[in-house]
């Protein structure tokens, strides 16, 4: 075996490299010479190494944000200040703000099919939950926002309602509805998101519809009852001021007519009364279709929010779909007196537009109710997922770690002996 030096290119960064030439001999013949090259190249800063993703076994529950504090910014505040600084720099130089669809009022053609897919899946989600609630019992607390999917309410003492002290923090359970499973987050419908803003005195001139539906309308879905302006000429902005709206167009008068069948398809109010109980043999199929529709809605809304602007209040649950938030003085959360009831608008997250509404996961429906002493052994899941799983749907992979399926739940007497 002979060592041979190997010259490498100076453009790439390599570690020590060796090249060996060897020849094997037999009793009667010899084989052809072969070459072994061992080289280790250092990675550049812009390169990455693929590694297999390690699946987490159990994850912690999402923390509850304190009510007496502002929500954290989804975008780092330094990036927000840097973007504002660049915008002021362009304004001082007399340069118009560069805008791309949909920031300039035009539709994104590639996202129009996504909007229709989300809208159809949203209607299928409401229909499936309305049918499943005839079979799967759901309870909601009349004093707080707690929801439980089981034949009876749980016994965990964590009620935060106004009269919870008289009940020793136990929940006051009543029969739940679709609004207990899907938290109703509504937004004002705007004919032109870049037109006049919703003021406090004119707030009753606009209809309130689910924020997911309003996002789909602005992304290209056409609903006759809720018209939306489709621009052919982009808007122009100089700093924060709109200097050209792409032509003037009068807004149609608000219809305020009785809800048609098309509107009722995506409305969660009294949805269980519109759909009859399904046959018991179809329950697993409906559950799987419902959980698939929920996954489509969540994935599609996340994709639309990367392009279309959605604002959320940093203090309360108000959401507005559009480039700017409205001016209705309806915020009653932390220190609203200092803001005269105005909302503190910031970029919204997917959990603010489509709240997951986590509930306790019940492994055995026919078993004993959930106890406070065994609270740390139970898992959680979104209310939609919990309803569909109890109806026979398969558990999505991303929710298994939070549901804590691999933890053995001890008896009440054994819990005190576990470290």
- Both tokens of 45, joined, read 């800063």
123, 297 in Cβ contact below 8 A? no
Burial class (CB in 10 A: 0-12, 13-18, 19+), 210: buried
| Global pTM value | 0.82
- The helix (run of H) or strand (run of E) holding residue 77 is helix 77-92
- Contact (Cβ atoms closer than 8 angstroms) between residue 139 and residue 150: yes
Q: Is residue 82 part of a domain?
A: no
Which tokens go with 412? 């009440």
The number of folded domains in the chain is 2
Residues 241 and 363 both lie in one domain: yes
Q: What is the domain range of residue 10?
A: 2-38
Quick one: pLDDT at residue 236?
A: 86
Residue 47 lies in a domain: no
Measured in whole angstroms, how far is the alpha carbon of residue 64 from the centre of its chain? Answer: 16
251-275 burial: b if 16+ Cβ within 10 Å, else e: eeeeeeeeeeeebebbbbeebbeeb
Cα 182-284-146 angle, rounded to 5 deg: 30
Structure tokens at 35: 């070459």
pLDDT, block means (10 residues), the chain with 419 residues: 45 43 44 46 54 67 85 90 89 86 91 96 94 94 93 90 88 93 93 90 92 95 91 85 75 57 76 89 95 96 95 94 92 89 94 93 88 88 95 92 86 66
Question: Which residues are registered as beta bridge partners of 210?
Answer: 186
Q: Are the beta carbons of 40 and 23 closer than 8 angstroms?
A: no
Q: Are 352 and 183 in contact, with CB atoms under 8 Å apart?
A: no
So what's the pLDDT on residue 43?
A: 52
Structure-token pair, residue 13: 């960064």
Closest CA to 383 of 294, 308, 297, 319: 294
Do 118 and 21 lie in one domain? The reply is no
* Residue 413 confidence (pLDDT): 63
Q: Indicate whether 24 belongs to any domain.
A: yes
Same domain, 165 and 33: no
- Quick one: pLDDT at residue 121? 96
């Amino acid at each position: 075996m002979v060592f041979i030096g190997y010259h490498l290119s100076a453009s790439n960064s390599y570690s020590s490299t060796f090249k060996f030439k060897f020849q094997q001999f037999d009793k009667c013949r010899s084989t052809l010479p072969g070459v072994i090259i061992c080289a280790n190249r250092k990675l550049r800063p812009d390169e990455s190494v693929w590694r297999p993703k390690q699946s987490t076994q159990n994850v912690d529950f999402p923390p509850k944000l304190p009510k007496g504090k502002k929500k954290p910014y989804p975008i780092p505040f330094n990036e927000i200040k840097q973007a504002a600084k660049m915008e002021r720099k362009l304004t001082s130089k007399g340069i118009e703000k560069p805008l791309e669809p949909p920031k300039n009022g035009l539709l994104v053609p590639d996202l129009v099919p996504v909007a229709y897919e989300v809208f159809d899946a949203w209607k299928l989600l409401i229909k499936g939950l309305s049918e499943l609630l005839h079979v799967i019992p759901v309870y909601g607390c009349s004093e707080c926002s707690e929801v439980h999917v089981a034949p009876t309410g749980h016994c965990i003492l964590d009620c935060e309602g106004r009269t919870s002290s008289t009940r020793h923090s136990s929940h006051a359970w009543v029969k739940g509805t679709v609004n207990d499973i899907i938290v109703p987050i509504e937004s004002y419908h705007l004919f032109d998101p870049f037109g006049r803003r919703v003021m406090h005195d004119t707030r009753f001139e606009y209809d309130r519809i689910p924020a997911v539906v309003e996002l789909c309308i602005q992304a290209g879905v056409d609903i006759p009852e809720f018209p939306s302006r489709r621009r052919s000429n982009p808007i122009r902005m100089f700093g924060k001021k709109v200097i050209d709206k792409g032509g003037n167009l009068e807004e149609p008068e608000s219809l305020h007519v009785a809800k048609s069948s098309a509107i009722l398809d995506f409305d969660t109010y009294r949805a269980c009364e519109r759909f009859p109980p399904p046959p018991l043999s179809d329950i697993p199929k409906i559950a799987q279709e419902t959980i698939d529709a929920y996954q489509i809605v969540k994935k599609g809304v996340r994709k639309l929010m990367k392009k279309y602007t959605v604002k959320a209040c940093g203090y309360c649950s108000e959401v507005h779909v559009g480039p700017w938030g409205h001016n209705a003085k309806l915020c009653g959360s932390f220190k609203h007196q200092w803001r005269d009831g105005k909302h503190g608008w910031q970029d919204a997250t997917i959990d603010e537009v489509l709240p997951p509404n986590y509930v306790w996961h019940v492994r055995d429906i026919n078993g004993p109710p959930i106890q406070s002493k065994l609270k740390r052994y139970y898992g959680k899941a979104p209310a939609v997922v919990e309803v569909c799983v109890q109806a026979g749907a398969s558990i999505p992979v991303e929710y298994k770690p939070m549901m804590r399926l691999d933890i053995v739940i001890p008896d009440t007497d054994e819990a005190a002996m576990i470290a």
